[in-house]
Amino acid sequence: MIVGMLSQSITIGATTIGKLLKEERLEVPPNQRAYRWKPEHAEDLFKDIRKEIDNRSDEYFLGSIVSIETSGKILIYDGQQRLATTMILLAEIRNALIDLDNEKDANIVERSFLFSERRGGADAIPHLTLNLEDKEFFFARILPRPNTESEKPIPTTRPRDSHKRLESVARAANEFVEDSIMKKGSPEESYKNLNRWVDFIEKSLQVIWVQVTNERTAFTIFETMNDRGLKLSAADLLKNYLHATAEGLRNDVIQKWASMTGTLETVEGEEENVVEYIRCFWVSRYGHTRTRYLYDKIKDRITNPGRAIALLSSLEEAAQDYAAIIMASHERTTDRGEHVKSNIATLKTLGVTQLRPMLLSAFAKLKHGQFDKLLEKSVVWSVRFMVTGTPSGTIEGYYAKIAADIWSGKTKTAKAAADSIKQIVPEDEEFKIAFANVSESKEKIARYYLQALQFAKDKSTLRSDLTLEHILPKKRDDNWKHFSEDDHRANVHRLGNLTPMDEEKNGAIQGKGYDFKRTIFAADADSSLTRDVAKYDKWTMSAIAKRQKELAEIAVVAWPLK
């Protein structure tokens, strides 16, 4: 199989993915990423193979697979997505053979490519073992035969995203086998097609098999390569770089990384948010860093095992603070008061993220009262930036500088932070002009605006279950012909056209004209904002503009600079 050596530490040769699964016992190291392919990635692979089989090609090249042989194990550093997906396809082919009552060939496929039996009744050994997150699920849920006891899902408090992907790819493979390989033909034709696919996978699905002697060499190659259709993320690269750098402390890397990602999964999900968290952490310590430069920045600074573990320890601890500034219900804010929870929830509703490095530093470094004041100011700044359309890059740069200054101890109060950013925060007049023209199609944000305006107007709090009424309705009917299509499109989401309403009353006025709606608005007991709509004799573009100017006057009180 080996045909040459690039150096003393790298050997390279040609083989097939089927032979690797048949002849080797492969293992994904614990530090490698979880299964990442989605059904569309797997379907692309299946379709490409089908095209080659239909064209009676002798071979089809699937790229390279990078491995290390150590302590009797072959560790896969690049290629697990293709290997695991091919196993899933072979498992579905085995299932199809069972459906055709061909137990003999089903057993051959299973024992050749999926499992190796062991004596004494011990569990079979899978020919590919995935990483710590996925190996048990892959072995017990994806690879077994249908309707077996071991096929039951592994119980978890929260299903991992990688487990969902494995299941969805298994379903896609099942559909592909039924629709494209068996083709609803006769049992004899289906049997021939299934075996043709097994033969092609074993004999013609070519890969370049790269074997290296150490992790550093593997990582160097891994760093420059992509799995089919799925680029490595900064999180993948960083995790593997830290693992390679930590040397004798690699178990600590695995434990701390798992602890960090476990915390982050409770906040916003998985892969992309790991990268964003690490970037926020880095910015909070070292200043503005864009995602595309994050990995290189860390690699330049973290150059030995001690620094690698120190970084991971800090990431593990700070993940709890990061969760606290995003989740209003987090245990670290339970003693901070309802206003803190409310402001955290508001920032989540607004979807602003540029300020997270600043809040991350502030949560760790500032006194409670100063953090609370900064958080309140952050809501004001965020609304003013959103309404006036302040460029995101400008905002991010200022927040990054404040974050680093807070972390270093240069900035110790909310006022000092405000002084650092005041030159880009829109003043009242600019804010009012922009607010008088703002449209908001996201209902949760529009609802928040109205809630804040209502409280600023007369200190009354809107019920949380009130719905959003579009006075000029989202669907233009005969009652609203005085608005042209262009005028309707330009005004329907303007804030002056929106008002809070009880859901039942809102349902009762659907499809009605303004004269009918006006009587309901005038009697509304929940909101003075809604009652004020009734003062307009007609609902026109000028009425919407006038009402929105009135709301703009209230806005500078709702989101005050001082």
Q: pLDDT tens digit string along 152-206?
A: 455 444 578 889 999 999 999 999 999 999 877 788 999 999 999 999 999 999 9
Residue 106 CA to residue 86 CA, distance in Å, equals 16
Angle between helices 356-365 and 305-326 (to 10 degrees): 100
- 110-119, 120-129, 316-325, 476-485 — which is least confidently predicted? 120-129
pTM beyond cutoff 0.85: no
State residue 227's pLDDT score. Answer: 47
Dist. CA 90–CA 86, nearest whole Å: 6
DSSP bridge pairs for 126: 115
Q: What's the Cα-to-Cα distance from 338 to each of 333, 341, 372, 445, rounded to whole Å?
A: 9, 5, 11, 20
Cβ–Cβ under 8 Å, residues 67 and 210: yes
User: pLDDT band for position 69 (50/70/90)?
Assistant: confident
> Averaged over 430-447, what is the pLDDT?
95
Q: Which amino acid type is present at position 148?
A: T
Calpha distance 97→469 (Å, rounded): 58
pLDDT over threshold 70, residue 261: yes
User: What single letter denotes the amino acid at residue 261?
Assistant: T
pLDDT digits (tens, 9 = 90+) for 204-216: 999 989 888 876 6
- Residue burial 266-305, b: 16+ Cβ < 10 Å; e: rest: ebbeebebbbbbbbbbbbbbbbbbeeeebbeebeeebeeb
